[in-house]
Structure 1
Amino acid sequence: MIGKLGATTVAILLSGSVMAAAAERVEVFSTSGCGCCIGWIRHLEEAGFEVTNENLAMADLYAKKTGAGLKPGQTSCHTGFVGGYVVEGHVPATQVKRLLAEKPDAVGITVPDMPAGSPGMGESDEPYEVLLVARDGSTSVFARYPLAEDASR
């Protein structure tokens, strides 16, 4: 098959695959010793993301959140960045993948606070929402949980 496509075409296709994989690297900022943050990071890693984590002082973490365009009421205990978006709080990996696939014109997505049953927060059927944060700071519902088809939460 390489003979038909040519080595240059194969190289371009492979480099595109490498670029797609690089887009799935999540840079997470949290405070030291946050167990639910570690749980969320593991959730992302199990879903195939490559995750780095940097512990910050609370004031520096808050500055990351506001610098990314998040407002009070839209935040949680950790902040991630992937593909030019902010991913705040205990967002399910399936919704991070959806965000990257759909590429909405937005700041990112958030699960405000720390709802029971969200990734990293333990098992529960308590409902919660993933919110899309628009560039003007407004939000709309991106997904509602629990989802019957999302057993991996």
Structure 2
Amino acid sequence: MRSMPTLSRRAFLAAGAGSVAVAACAPGARSSTELAVYKTPTCACCTAWVDHMRAAGFKARVNELPSLRSIRSTQGVPEALASCHTAMIGGYVLEGHVPAEDVRKLLAERPEAVGLAVPAMPLGSPGMETPDGQREPYETLLILKGGGTRVFARHG
């Protein structure tokens, strides 16, 4: 009877690492496009932001609540960053009119953070477009664990 060749420890580890790399590249391992959005029933700019995200290929499920304070608090969003809607995707929270391109970058880079915020509803941000095309420069902030922030992207 023929014996099966045995794998060395190095070969075994290399095979395991290769399996992990293949799994990481598999379509199912990619960041989700499923977006859970929380907004109040009367906010039109939130609906326009959801339209922006859907046009960018995200699948948004909208949940209407009378107040978003408890969602923000539960998700670790400081009140100073509060905006008109809160969303969750891929283990991150999105607060306010965050551009789809910033969400894609967040999901690709996967930083240790709570999520992204665009506080203060700046004109020209996604969902806050004006008929005359007026735009304000604004920053997308990375919300760090512990409540601090740093600039993630600049727009306008």
Q: CA deviation at 1:19?
A: 4.5
Match of 1:76 among 83, 87, 99: 83
Paired letter, 1:30: K
TM-score, length basis structure 1: 0.81
Residue in 1 aligned with 2:8? none
CA offsets 1:29-67 (integer angstroms, 9 cap, x no match):
000021100000000000000100000011xx1100111
Instruction: Give SS of 2:81's match.
Output: coil
Inter-partner Cα distance in structure 1 for 2:33 and 2:95: 16
Residue in 2 aligned with 1:137? 147
Inter-partner Cα distance in structure 2 for 1:110 and 1:74: 7
Inter-partner Cα distance in structure 2 for 1:19 and 1:109: 22
Structure 1 consecutive aligned stretches of length 4 or more whose deviation exceeds 2 Å: 18-21
Inter-partner Cα distance in structure 1 for 2:152 and 2:30: 23
Paired letter, 1:71: P
Match of 1:56 among 54, 65, 88: 65
Inter-partner Cα distance in structure 2 for 1:33 and 1:76: 14
Paired letter, 1:50: K
**Which ranges of structure 2 fall in alignment gaps of 5 or more residues?**
1-18
Paired letter, 2:73: T
Alignment of 1:87-126 (within 5 A): 87-122=94-129, 123-126=133-136
For this pair of structures, how many residues does the alignment match? 132
Instruction: Give SS of 2:79's match.
Output: coil
**Which ranges of structure 1 fall in alignment gaps of 5 or more residues?**
1-8, 147-153
